[in-house]
Amino acid sequence: MAVTALDKLMAQALELGAHAAAILSASQILVEERLAQICGQGTCPAYGKSPNCPPHVMTTARFKALLAGQQSALAFKFDVPTALLLSQARHQTARAVHGLAARLEGLALELGFAQAHGLAAGSCWEAFCDGQGVCPVLDHKGACLFPDQARPSLSGLGVNVFQLCADLGWPINRIGKDADPQETPMGLMAGLVLLG
């Protein structure tokens, strides 16, 4: 059996540190406007601080149009202890998710895909620029400081990550700020690479 470009990409995701990876049809990815709107309801401290998050990231309607032009997607996840997700250390994992999405995006193009779009859990501002002030892109004073790593936010685009994980058979727990690590010891952070 021949190894396909999708097989190679999935193998690379695992080699580069993802705890699980899967290929799915792009049409399986559920996008909901209400999920993107949650970012602006005071629940996310990164709202408005990055071009990769609402209200600056593309709208869900535009994202759905982009998604319609893609054939498949590579989903990957990192299993993360709840205690870490509730701490500032979660930014380190978010950096890893963004970095892997960006790396796989580049590998997909090298493997011959016409298009590849990496997406990641969390805000690139929190992952890379928290504490550095205003994003230079939004401040119109410069380019992104991390263009080879920072990618658009899955939740900011309205991707239903819970449904995605359920479809892939990946157990996922809702980890809110009041979560008890004793009751819910593990969570996850996910990424996607859309492939056209």
Contacts of 124 (CB under 8 A, 6+ apart): 50, 52, 53, 98, 146, 149, 150, 151, 153
Which band of pLDDT confidence, cut at 50, 70 and 90, is reported for residue 2?
low
Q: Which of 78, 102, 71 is nearest to 5 (CA)?
A: 71
- Per the confidence metrics, is the pTM higher than 0.75? yes
> Once rounded to an integer, what is the mean pLDDT over residues 137-143?
89
Distance CA 126, CA 108 (A): 26
pLDDT digits (tens, 9 = 90+) for 85-107: 988 888 999 999 999 999 999 99
pLDDT at 66: 95
Neighbours of 24 (CB within 10 A): 15
pLDDT at 188: 95
Distance CA 149, CA 52 (A): 12
Distance CA 136, CA 134 (A): 6
Q: Dihedral angle at the C-alpha atoms of 98, 102, 108, 114, nearest 10 degrees?
A: 120
Distance CA 79, CA 93 (A): 10
pLDDT digits (tens, 9 = 90+) for 161-195: 999 999 999 999 888 888 888 888 999 999 999 99
Inform me whether the pLDDT recorded for 41 exceeds 80: no
3-state secondary structure 117-146: EEEECCCHHHHHHCCCCCCCCCCCCCCCCC
